[in-house]
């Protein structure tokens, strides 16, 4: 039987495909831009027939129909590995549950521990060899499919074909059902950088050298730095990142990124997923300069460290005077997830000449307009520690940059207070004294 005959045999409607889902099943929806639309809608229509169907996904940009039709979460239980803004709101309503992870370990969770009854995965159209491409979310998708008892593919011609790497495809012989649909990939345009973002970015830029290998996290500040790098005189930069962003496209087009000095995946832009704009998706489509890898390769700290001068740039919510970093919650309220911050912080530090930067604006305002410091004596009660104090390298605000490696508790307090907002420094000194981490000889520049 040819691959085309097998395709026609397995081709069906979304309604027939989802009929295999039973009450109590674990159903995986994939991740990021690769989450089903037609299959989700068809499954939602079966609400009254089903109870306690548990859904897993990552960072939903658009509300799933199974969540929309079931406000009591009686029929469908929605679980998520890393929250988007939408997931956060659903969590506040009791409609989304968070699953903590170290992102580089996620494929192993599936292969070692998790059950998957049905996987529903969007893919590109099949090629002449019978392979479908997962598009810009290789991540842990192959691991999901390996563990799934049944696999349904949602074929969408608008998904870019993202070259590997490895584990970026699945063969028609491995799947149970195929449905055809067409929809535009969700876009998350880069946040415009603020004045504060630009100040922070300009502290980091001098730390880069020709041949640095870059990872950028999500948000305005990494985007600001990416724009500055694209216009810089740096040469032969490499890319080994978790998330491919529009900033990297700009760096390639300006000529600063060549990958010529990379040790691992030389000349390639290495990444595991892309959640961005059409510009980024079009750049990735059939582009041999880019290599999509599973996250256990891309985020493996040992692999990150293989490239000299690895630079990791990520954000956080708050940091305390001991150097503990919270990047995923506001108190007990979950707002995102650990993601790859720990992976890249560790990997970049162990790279020859590597550096890991965690960035934050020095203050924030609550809903009433009151201003608070993001550098705190201790983390907000209930806040989740994302990056352990002993793992933290550089902390950067709009007031400066400090390296915490090798510093005692009193040295850390002095360093962190020096980059806090000036309005809060005296108060932080008093709190440091109460905590027993302030020496009389400590000095803070005005």
CATH number at residue 52: 3.40.1080.10
Please identify every residue annotated as catalytic.
242
Report d(CA 302, CA 26) in Å as an integer: 32
Q: What does the angle CA 355 – CA 360 – CA 362 come to, to the nearest 5 degrees?
A: 130
Q: What is the rounded average pLDDT of the residues 123-128?
A: 99
Same-domain status, 236 and 345: yes
Contacting residues for 37 by C-beta, under 8 A, at least 6 apart: 122, 154, 181, 183
Q: Where are the beta strands (DSSP E) in 113-147?
A: 116-123, 131-133
Report d(CA 403, CA 39) in Å as an integer: 49
- Let me know how long the chain is: 446
Q: What is the rounded average pLDDT of the residues 115-119?
A: 99
Q: The tokens of 92 are what? A: 């506040």
Q: What's the pLDDT at 220?
A: 79
Same-domain status, 133 and 232: no
Q: What is the rounded average pLDDT of the residues 22-49?
A: 98
Domain stops at, among 126, 154, 180: 180
Report d(CA 398, CA 199) in Å as an integer: 5
What is the tally of structural domains in the chain?
Answer: 2
pLDDT band per the 50, 70, 90 thresholds, residue 394:
very high
| pLDDT beyond 90 at 283 | yes
Same-domain status, 128 and 162: yes
Provide the CATH number for the domain around residue 204. Answer: 3.40.1080.20
Same-domain status, 235 and 169: no
Low-confidence winner among 1-10, 93-102, 222-231 (lowest mean pLDDT): 222-231
Same-domain status, 43 and 173: yes
Answer whether 29's CB lies under 8 Å from 81's CB. no
Domain stops at, among 156, 180, 204: 180
In a domain, 302, yes or no: yes
Same-domain status, 301 and 413: yes
In a domain, 176, yes or no: yes
Q: What's the pLDDT at 131?
A: 99
Domain stops at, among 133, 157, 180: 180
In a domain, 418, yes or no: yes
Per the structure, the complete domain to which residue 200 belongs is given by: 195-435
Report d(CA 217, CA 358) in Å as an integer: 10
Q: What is the rounded average pLDDT of the residues 186-214?
A: 93
Q: What is the rounded average pLDDT of the residues 40-66?
A: 97
Same-domain status, 112 and 147: yes
């Amino acid at each position: 039987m040819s691959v085309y005959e097998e395709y026609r045999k397995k081709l069906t409607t979304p309604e027939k495909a989802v009929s295999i889902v039973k009450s109590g099943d674990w159903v995986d929806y994939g991740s990021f831009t690769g989450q089903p639309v037609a299959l989700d809608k068809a499954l939602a229509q079966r609400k009254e027939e089903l109870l306690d169907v548990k859904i897993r996904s990552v960072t939903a940009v658009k509300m799933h129909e199974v969540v929309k039709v079931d406000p009591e979460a009686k029929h469908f239980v929605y679980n998520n590995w890393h929250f988007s803004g939408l997931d956060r709101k659903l969590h506040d309503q009791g409609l989304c549950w968070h699953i903590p992870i170290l992102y580089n370990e996620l494929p192993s969770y599936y292969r070692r521990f998790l059950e998957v009854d049905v996987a529903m995965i969007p893919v590109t159209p099949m090629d002449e060899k019978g392979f479908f491409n997962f598009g810009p979310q290789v991540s842990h998708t192959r691991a999901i499919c390996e563990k799934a008892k049944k696999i349904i593919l949602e074929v969408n011609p608008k998904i870019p074909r993202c070259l590997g790497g490895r584990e970026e495809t699945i063969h028609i012989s491995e799947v149970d059902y195929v449905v055809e649909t067409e929809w535009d990939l969700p876009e998350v345009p880069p946040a415009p950088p603020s004045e504060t973002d630009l100040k922070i970015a300009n502290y980091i830029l001098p730390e880069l050298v020709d041949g640095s290998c870059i990872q950028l996290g999500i948000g305005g500040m990494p985007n600001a730095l990416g724009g500055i790098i694209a216009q810089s005189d740096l040469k032969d930069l490499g890319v080994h990142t978790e998330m491919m962003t529009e900033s990297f496209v700009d760096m390639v087009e300006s000529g600063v990124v060549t990958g010529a000095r990379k040790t691992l995946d030389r000349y390639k832009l290495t990444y595991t997923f892309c959640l961005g704009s059409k510009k980024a998706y079009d750049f990735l489509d059939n582009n041999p300069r880019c290599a999509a890898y599973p996250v256990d390769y891309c985020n493996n700290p040992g692999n990150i460290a293989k490239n000299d001068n690895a630079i990791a740039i990520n954000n956080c919510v708050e940091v305390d005077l001991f150097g503990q970093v919270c990047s995923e919650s506001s108190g007990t309220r979950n707002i995102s997830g650990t993601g790859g911050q720990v992976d890249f912080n560790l990997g970049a530090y162990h790279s020859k000449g590597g550096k890991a930067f965690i960035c934050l604006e020095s203050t924030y305002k609550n809903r009433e307009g009151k201003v608070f410091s993001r550098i705190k004596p201790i983390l907000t009660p209930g806040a989740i520690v994302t990056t352990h104090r002993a793992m933290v390298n550089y902390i950067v605000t709009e007031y400066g940059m400090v390296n915490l490696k090798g510093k005692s508790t009193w040295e850390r307090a002095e360093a962190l207070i020096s980059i806090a907002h000036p309005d809060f420094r005296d108060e932080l000194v008093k709190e440091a004294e109460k905590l027993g981490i302030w020496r009389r000889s400590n000095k803070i520049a005005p």
